[in-house]
């Protein structure tokens, strides 16, 4: 059984200026730290984010069939040459 380590983060607020002195406000989740490397997320490694209601899963390698199918649907994987 793998160890599961808990990280608790707070969703921050981002601001993007728009025309006519308006701002777009949006949520931000910032991930950084040595713990990412310890978990197998190395710099410059592509990652896949799978978004479900109330859940975001981040992986370096999709494992489940439904994840692979999602990648195909969104044309993330390039056809083998």
Per-residue pLDDT tens over the stretch 47-71: 888 888 999 989 888 777 877 777 7
Distance separating alpha carbons of residues 20 and 67, to the nearest angstrom: 41
Residue 79: predicted pLDDT: 57
Check pLDDT > 70 for residue 81.
no
Please name which of 43, 8, 45 lies closest in space to residue 29, comparing C-alpha atoms: 8
Q: What letter does residue 77 receive in the DSSP assignment?
A: S
Q: Look at phi and psi of residue 74 and say left if phi exceeds 0, alpha if psi is from -120 to 50, else beta.
A: alpha
Tell me the residue range of the domain where 57 lies: 12-73
**pLDDT grade for 78, boundaries at 50, 70 and 90:** low
Give a yes or no: residue 1 inside a domain: no
Give a yes or no: residue 43 inside a domain: yes
Residue 1: predicted pLDDT: 44
Count how many domains the chain has: 1
Tokens representing 34 are 């040595």
E-strand spans in 18-70? 23-28, 48-52, 55-59
**Chain segment 3-30, per-residue pLDDT in tens:** 778 888 999 999 998 888 889 999 999 9
């Amino acid at each position: 059984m793998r160890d599961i380590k808990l990280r608790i983060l707070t969703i921050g607020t981002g601001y993007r200026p728009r025309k006519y002195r308006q701002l777009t406000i949006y949520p931000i989740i910032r991930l950084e730290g040595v713990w990412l490397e310890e978990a197998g997320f190395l710099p410059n490694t592509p990652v896949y984010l799978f978004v479900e209601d109330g859940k975001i899963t981040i992986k370096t390698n999709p494992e489940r069939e439904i994840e692979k199918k999602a990648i195909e649907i969104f044309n993330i994987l390039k056809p083998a040459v």
